[in-house]
Amino acid sequence: MFKKTLLALALTGAAAGANAASVITTSLPGAAPVSSQGLPATNAYNLFDDADDALPIAADSVIVTLAAADNSGITDGGKLKVNISGGFFANPASALAVAGGALVAADELVVVDAAESTSTQLVFDLSTANTGDWTVADGDTISLAELELIVTGDSVSFDTVFTTNTDVEISTTAAPAVEVAAITDQWEAGVVLDLTADPQVSGALDGLIDVADNRETFTTGTTDTLTFDANTSGTGATTNDATVTITGNFEGVASVTAATGADAAVTYTINDAMTEATFTYAAGATTDDEVLSGQTVVTFTLETAADEVAPLDIRDFTVSLDVDYDDAEGSQNDIALLTDAAAGGWDLNGETTTLEYMPFGPNTQMIVQATSTFDEDASVSISYLNETSGQMVTLADIGTVAANSVTKLGTIISDAIIADSGEESGKTRVVITINAPAGNVSLFTAFKDTNDLDRLGVPQT
């Protein structure tokens, strides 16, 4: 079980403080990832065993970097003790009886003392018989590799200390506890360009609908992209498939395609209700393993054919990513990496003003006055929050702002909301978009209680 459970003492000569304490690190940039989906029922895990974690480093190990002060433990014929928290060593009494290797200056090998070691502490005999005339220099390193653990917590930490031959700890040699392995999901995903970047850059949709083109295109053309990134850490679980579901309003969208890395694009299926686009990755041009370990760019392409094109309205999208897998025991399970994660959306260009609160109804007069310095009449569209559905609803071309004049829009907007919602009164959020260049139209917004005639201004964003 404890394959090659030895201390490899590699004299690297790296710089360290003359009297600094030992420091524990790993051969990775941080703690080794241990897949929670890949742990067997016994919670046994081989730390830094290439067969288990497929780490691309030849000398995977927990590394103790020494200081010259540590020499007091070795020259005294003492011991090195390695303590574990968050787990224990599997059956150390029998598994640690490993034959020692040749004692050479560049690669000292020290046998674990099976008699003294316990499930939470490894003890290494540093007597002269095992270490020869080795003298510790600043920066010498000790590597512990291929350790089989039984994981009991969310992370595994090691600390070390040298003791004298009378079992007295040498405080100057103590290395504080450091996390060497962390239990984590085998996969992660985000609506970002790169999960490893700091800071992360959003991959969300951000199309701007061109009101000057009858809201049939974006200001940049007929496509917009959504990017999500996924990583796989550790092994043990085996994926069966991965399903991506994008939810929103797909009216006016001709196709949704996605390319992962350099793979050929696949086509998502848009349902008949035009509310979802889905694709299940398994085998094929892009496998589930590929989509779970790389960047995927999803391209939305708008309708352009005359008989299919449709005016676009303000809308938001969400994305979900679900993985079906077999765990280390062979049982089928699933995990949601993304659940209705915000995936961006589309807004209108032109002169756009948002009123976060606006009442409407027979006892309230909505006051919206538009002053235009534009030389052409400009159509008015609104998006309002429907309190019943909780969704933003876009109403296009409900009125017109006259060129170079002041136009009252309050009653027009109020009547449009009442007619569409079926509600005689209420309160809502309103986004007003006027098909005129930004800066050419200004709005005055307020409402008046028709009973007491009080007037209250409404802030704009």
Fold of 187-348: Immunoglobulin-like (2.60.40)
- Side-chain half-sphere exposure of 12, counting CA atoms within 13 A: 16
**3-state SS class at 289:** helix
pLDDT at 9 over 90: no
| Cα–Cα dist 55/368, whole Å | 63
Helix count and strand count (H, E) for the chain:
6, 32
Asked whether the beta carbons of 163 and 72 are under 8 A apart, the reply is: no
pLDDT at 2 over 80: no
Q: How many CB atoms lie within 10 A of CB 436?
A: 24
DSSP letter assigned to residue 265: P
Asked whether the beta carbons of 458 and 441 are under 8 A apart, the reply is: no
More confident residue, 206 or 164: 206
| Cα–Cα dist 241/334, whole Å | 10
DSSP letter assigned to residue 363: T
pLDDT digits (tens, 9 = 90+) for 139-150: 777 777 667 788
| Cα–Cα dist 396/314, whole Å | 10
pLDDT at 154 over 70: yes
What is the pLDDT at residue 149?
A: 84
pLDDT digits (tens, 9 = 90+) for 300-342: 999 999 888 988 888 999 999 999 999 989 999 999 999 999 9
List where CATH 2.60.290.11 sits in the chain. 351-457
Residues paired with 434 in a beta bridge: 351, 380
pLDDT digits (tens, 9 = 90+) for 422-432: 999 999 999 99
Q: Are strands 295-302 and 223-232 parallel, antiparallel or unpaired?
A: antiparallel
List where CATH 2.60.40 sits in the chain. 6-184, 187-348
Token pair, residue 118, equals 């316990």
Q: Does domain 6-184 have CATH number 2.60.40?
A: yes
What is the pLDDT at residue 134?
A: 65
| CATH dotted code for 351-457 | 2.60.290.11
Token pair, residue 455, equals 């007037």
